[in-house]
Amino acid sequence: MTADRLTNFIDGEPLSNQSGETFAVINPATGEQLYEVEVADEFVREKAIESARRGFAVWSATPAKERARILHRAVALLRENNDSLANVEVLDTGKPIQEASEVDVATGADVIEFFASLSPTQVGQQQEVDGDFYYTRREPLGICAGIGAWNYPLQIACWKSGPALAAGNAMIFKPSEETPRGAVELARVFIKAGVPRGVFNVVHGEGEVGQWLTSHDQIKKVSFTGEVGTGRKVMGSASETLKDVTMELGGKSPLLVFEDADIEEAVSAAMLGNFYTQGEVCTNCTRVFVQQSIYDKFMDSLLERTRNNIIAGDPTDPDTNFGALISEEHLELVMSYIEKGKQEGATVAIGGERIKPDSAPDGYFVAATVFTDCTDDMTICREEIFGPVMSVLTFDDENEVIKRANATPMGLAAGVMTTDIRRAHRVVSKLQAGICWINSYGASPAEMPVGGYKLSGVGRENGIETLHHYTQTKSVYVGMNKLEAPF
């Protein structure tokens, strides 16, 4: 790429398109254009497939131990370049450098490291049957597609490519059009580490390019991260060619704060799960249910900490802990939800407006917002907002809150804050959510499978089981007895 133009990255190098079509990427903290991106036209798409076919042939024939060594080199490069990669993420997403330099690159590298280490552990089974025997082989799928969202661009690219490449597949990755650079930086890292050309290609564009990937008959699997509505389209399109799919979608997750909880920790969980990454996290606990008897204490602390501890501003300043929303359009969407909350009778306890911090006056900032006097049927308590908007609700007893927490078509995550160990596990066993935290919120280590129940997803990312989603089983029957035939 030149300083102001990003191309597709195919077969180990930048590839210019022939159509000349581009789109702009905007820095959310300044509103200014960062660079232009070339759309993957027919020419680029064809090259991407051809190259991935060649890449897959080489990579799938590379011994697993060697694949592991190469991927471990990529991990080392990611960690060595942590700060410059974190900076790319800050410019593209508007999130604070404080977060990106600690979390984004590190958790991406952790996942590639985890799957690289598992790469040589793919064993089959063998069994004797009636004097004959069979054995199984776990074989890669072929060319897989990854399609990413804009909130954790590099991390999502790592979480998808890690298991795919460890299992011997090639991947064509389409980052979100709002944050396309992180995936190209990852592609460069893979090449530098020794991953063969074509094993990880990056194509750019909007939904139409994603749609091309999901419908292509040479692509065997799609791993998608994004909204429920887009997920439906992706799965529908993938069904035409019967592709395997992994769907990491949205949520409307509950946090259950019981009266025996440590109040300050409960407030920490609620703030982490609503204001981290300025609220643009899929697992956010946007419905905070607080037991009536501790409601006043909880609110006093929540409002005091929200008023005094949030530092919104230039995301490149290490003191900033609250960044800009991804785009003006998204800011307007978040503001429209806040208006709806007010209209439907909720009370803005704090925030509720667009802000213009001195250090970033043109950025797309919405204040950390807390609504009280909420009811379960309000729009803000039902729909994913994907911004810093928390709704606080109250409850009286355990069965009631479990029922209300589960009364959503989504089921990505949930949190339980209590010091009663039996209550914690009893409640978690009844929550309809793929990821549950007890006295914690948001941690997602490489070792732990993550994914949604209900409309929040299909399949899992991370954890050992994910590797199986990137392989298929071949059964080989071996005749040791003389073969008889009635003919």
The residues assigned a catalytic role are 248
**Residue 151 within binding range of ligand NAD, rule CB under 6 A:** yes
Nearest distance from C-beta of residue 207 to ligand NAD, angstroms: 3
Nearest to ligand NAD of 225, 408 (CB atom)? 225
Considering only residues 162 to 181 of the shown chain, the ones binding ligand NAD according to CB under 6 A are 174, 176-177
- SS3 call for 157: helix
**Which of 27, 214, 291, 391 is close enough to bind ligand NAD by CB under 6 A?**
214
Please say whether the beta carbons of 316 and 90 come within 8 A: yes
Candidates 420, 454, 448; CA nearest to 436 is 448
Residue written as token pair 């905070």: 288
- For residue 477, give the DSSP letter: E
Asked whether 273 and 283 are in contact (CB, 8 A), the reply is yes
Q: Does 104 bind ligand NAD (CB under 6 A)?
A: no
Residue 330 structure tokens: 């998204």
Whole-number minimum distance, CB 156 to ligand NAD, in Å?
A: 7
Check binding of 454 to ligand NAD (CB under 6 A). no
By Cβ distance, which residue is nearest to ligand NAD? 210
d(CA 128, CA 133): 4
Based on the shown chain and the rule CB under 6 A, indicate whether residue 256 belongs to the binding site for ligand NAD.
Answer: no
Contact 175, 153 (CB under 8 A): yes
Is residue 113 near ligand NAD by the rule CB under 6 A?
Answer: no
At residue 406, the 3 state secondary structure works out as helix
Q: Minimum distance between the CB of residue 252 and ligand NAD, rounded to whole angstroms?
A: 9
Question: Considering the rule CB under 6 A, would residue 227 count as an interface residue with ligand NAD?
Answer: yes
Q: Applying CB under 6 A, which of residues 28, 196, 210, 387 lies at the interface with ligand NAD?
A: 210
Tell me if 39 contacts ligand NAD by CB under 6 A.
no
If binding is defined by CB under 6 A, does position 249 make contact with ligand NAD?
yes
* Single-letter residue type at 461: E
Q: In terms of CB distance, is 176 or 471 closer to ligand NAD?
A: 176
What is the identity of the amino acid at 28?
Answer: P
Q: Looking at the DSSP assignment, which residues form a beta bridge with residue 172?
A: 145, 201
Smallest gap from Cβ 214 to ligand NAD, in A, equals 5
Q: Is 7 in the site for ligand NAD (CB under 6 A)?
A: no
CB of residue 336 vs ligand NAD: minimum separation in angstroms? 15
Least distance between ligand NAD and beta carbon 150 (Å): 5
Min dist CB 234 to ligand NAD, Å, is 5
- The piece of 18-26, 36-44, 220-228, 423-431 that touches ligand NAD (CB under 6 A) is 220-228
| Nearest to ligand NAD of 151, 161 (CB atom) | 151
334 neighbors 387 (Cβ within 8 angstroms):
yes
Q: Which of 46, 132, 206, 300 binds ligand NAD (CB under 6 A)?
A: 206
Q: Quick check: 245 and 458 in contact, CB under 8 A? A: yes
Q: Cβ closer to ligand NAD: 119 or 283?
A: 283
Rounded-to-integer distance, Cα 264 and Cα 197, Å: 51
| Helix, strand, coil % in the chain, rounded to nearest 5 | 40, 25, 35
Order of strands, edge to edge, in the sheet holding 389-395? 347-350, 369-372, 389-395, 287-291, 254-257, 413-417, 435-438
Using CB under 6 A as the binding rule, the residues of this chain from 71 to 90 that contact ligand NAD are none
Tell which positions 348-387 bind ligand NAD, by CB under 6 A: 384, 386
- Identity of the residue, 110 or 177, whose beta carbon is nearer to ligand NAD in the bound complex: 177
In 3D, which of 254, 255, 260 has the Cα closest to residue 423?
Answer: 260
- Structural contact between residues 178 and 255, judged by C-beta atoms closer than 8 angstroms: no
Nearer to ligand NAD, 27 or 93 (CB): 93
**Burial bucket for residue 421 (CB in 10 Å: 0-12, 13-18, 19+):** exposed
Take residue 266 and report the two structure tokens written for it. Answer: 């409960």
The answer to whether residue 158 forms part of the interface with ligand NAD (CB under 6 A) is: no
Q: How far is the CB of 160 from ligand NAD (least distance, A)?
A: 10
Residues 395 and 374: beta-carbon distance below 8 Å? no
Residue 113 tokens, joined: 């490291």
Count the residues of the shown chain that bind ligand NAD, applying the rule CB under 6 A.
Answer: 29
Binding residue for ligand NAD, selected from 40, 105, 157, 234, defined by CB under 6 A? 234
Compute CA 15 distance to the chain's CA centroid, rounded to the nearest angstrom: 27
Which residue's CB is nearer to ligand NAD, number 352 or number 457? 457
Query: Which residue, among 438, 437, 470, 431, has the nearest Cα to 453 in the 3D structure?
Result: 431
| Residue 256, CA distances (Å) to 55, 294, 325, 425 in order | 48, 12, 27, 13
> Among residue numbers 263 through 302, which ones bind ligand NAD (CB under 6 A)?
282
246 sits near ligand NAD (criterion: CB under 6 A): no
Stretch that binds ligand NAD, among 28-36, 223-231, 331-339, 478-486 (CB under 6 A): 223-231
Q: Which is nearer to ligand NAD, 70 or 145 (CB)?
A: 145
List the one residue from 94, 226, 352, 357 that touches ligand NAD (CB under 6 A): 226
What is the residue whose two structure tokens read 């969407």?
Answer: 333
How open is the CA angle 46-47-52, to the nearest 5 degrees? 105
Using CB under 6 A, list all residues that contact ligand NAD.
147-151, 174, 176-177, 206-207, 210-211, 214, 225-227, 230, 233-234, 248-251, 282, 384, 386, 412, 452, 457
